[in-house]
């Protein structure tokens, strides 16, 4: 069973600001109530959502706040008895790091319903990179796109951590994967994870796609946002589906939306925004087992210590990562 102490180190944000606004502080270890679980955090991934919070772009966040919409670790206490102490769990979403303190700490206390149990001998950096990435990619493929074996998929924003895991999942599903980067030097990062058609984003990806597939792709995942969405829609076949999941450009609204002009004939537009319940324990377990067996790869850019959180956030903001940034508290 994991041991607990009275105090813990955490990265706290008092108000939106630059990376340096994240300060390491000593806080009391939270005390779980029935329905909650106290987790000793072994690793957590960094997410754009936390960047939005730090920049003051997120709605409904209250301060001071321990950021972090996800964490992985080991159950320390669970007063309601839903989880046994020592169980490995991922915790994610549900207001974590936004309306209550999240994963940027040595311990985190979350509602049991926000957790997904698993069992794995993988190192914590690898496990810690997975939950939010996998939930978003899996949710986008299943709920957003209804992706099927044998179909083609275009991933717009392919070198992002979500883009890379989606490529891994799509290949495992038996899809043909086309994936974009703005940087020709990153094409190899795409082929390395199994992308068959890496594309350098010149703003007219639709033309590149239609040279390969004249009718367009069956499915497309939009991760850049509304600046590229019309072109992604043009790359997609009649009755194909585009799922809007990400907005790396920090632009996510369409002004004066006139559907007949905006949407190509017969192309379907959906969106995905997820929760922990979209990641069934069996899906997390199957993915971790596949990684352990060498059948799937987790794209990790770099690991950091908790006291390197400022550097980690600066790297995320500058777009220096090709893959997930992971912190080991």
Ligand X SMILES: NC(=O)c1ccc[n+]([C@@H]2O[C@H](COP(=O)([O-])OP(=O)(O)OC[C@H]3O[C@@H](n4cnc5c(N)ncnc54)[C@H](OP(=O)(O)O)[C@@H]3O)[C@@H](O)[C@H]2O)c1
- The residue ranges that bind ligand X (CB under 6 A) are 47-49, 132, 136, 157, 159-162, 181-183, 186, 223-224, 245-249, 272-274, 316, 319, 321-322
| In the complex, least distance from residue 24 CB atom to ligand X, rounded to whole angstroms | 22
Nearest residue (CB) to ligand X, 113 versus 239: 113
Q: Within its chain, how far is the Cα of 276 from the centroid?
A: 12
Whichever of 40 and 301 has its CB closer to ligand X, that residue is 301
Closest CB to ligand X among residues 69, 288: 69
Is the Cβ–Cβ distance between 67 and 54 less than 8 Å?
yes
Least Å from the CB of residue 201 to ligand X? 6
Checking phi first, is residue 176 left (phi over 0); if not, alpha (psi -120 to 50) or beta? beta
Whose Cβ is closer to ligand X: residue 78's or residue 162's? 162
Closest separation in Å from C-beta 38 to ligand X: 25
Please state the closest distance from residue 86 (CB atom) to ligand X, in A: 29
Q: How far is the CB of 43 from ligand X (least distance, A)?
A: 16
Nearest residue to the partner ligand X, using Cβ: 246
Q: Which of 204, 146, 209, 132 is nearest to 175 (CA)?
A: 146
For residue 109, give the nearest of 11, 43, 34, 1 by alpha carbon.
34
How many whole angstroms separate alpha carbon 180 and alpha carbon 70? 27
Q: Specify the residue, 89 or 276, whose C-beta has the smaller distance to ligand X.
A: 276
Cis previous bond, 64, omega within 30: yes
Residue 78 or 110 with smaller CB distance to ligand X:
110
Which of 289, 247, 241, 249 has the alpha carbon at shortest distance from 141? 241
CB of 99 to ligand X, least distance (A): 16
Which CB atom, from 36 or from 245, has the smaller least distance to ligand X?
245
The residue to which tokens 């949407």 are assigned: 263
To ligand X, the closest distance from the beta carbon of 134 in angstroms equals 11
């Amino acid at each position: 069973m994991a041991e607990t102490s009275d105090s813990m180190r955490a990265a706290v944000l008092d108000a939106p600001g630059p990376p340096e606004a994240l300060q390491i502080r000593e806080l009391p270890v939270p005390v779980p109530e029935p329905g909650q679980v106290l987790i000793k955090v072994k690793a957590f991934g960094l997410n754009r959502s936390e960047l939005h919070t730090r920049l003051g772009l997120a709605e409904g966040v209250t301060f001071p706040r321990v950021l972090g919409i996800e964490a992985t670790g080991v159950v320390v206490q669970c007063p309601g008895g839903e989880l046994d102490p020592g169980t490995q769990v991922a915790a994610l979403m549900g207001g974590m790091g936004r309306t209550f303190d999240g994963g940027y700490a040595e311990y985190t206390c979350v509602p049991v319903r926000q957790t997904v149990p698993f069992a794995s001998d993988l190192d914590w950096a690898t496990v810690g990179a997975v939950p939010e990435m996998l939930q978003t990619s899996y949710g986008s493929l299943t709920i957003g796109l209804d992706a099927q074996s044998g179909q083609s998929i275009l991933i717009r924003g392919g070198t992002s951590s979500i883009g890379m895991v989606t490529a891994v999942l799509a290949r495992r599903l038996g899809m043909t994967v086309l994936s974009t980067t703005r940087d020709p030097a990153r094409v190899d990062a795409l082929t390395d994870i199994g992308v068959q058609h890496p594309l350098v984003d010149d703003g007219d990806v639709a033309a590149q796609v239609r040279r390969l597939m004249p009718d367009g792709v069956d499915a497309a995942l939009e991760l850049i946002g509304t600046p590229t969405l019309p072109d992604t829609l043009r790359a997609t076949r009649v009755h194909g589906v585009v799922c809007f999941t990400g907005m790396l450009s920090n632009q996510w609204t369409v002004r004066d939306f006139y559907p007949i002009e905006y949407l190509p004939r017969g192309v379907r537009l959906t969106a995905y925004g997820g929760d922990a319940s979209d990641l069934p324990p069996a899906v997390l377990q199957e993915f971790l087992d596949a990684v352990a067996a060498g059948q799937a790869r987790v794209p990790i850019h770099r690991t950091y210590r908790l006291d390197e959180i400022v550097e980690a956030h600066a790297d995320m903001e500058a777009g220096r990562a090709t893959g997930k940034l992971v912190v080991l508290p």
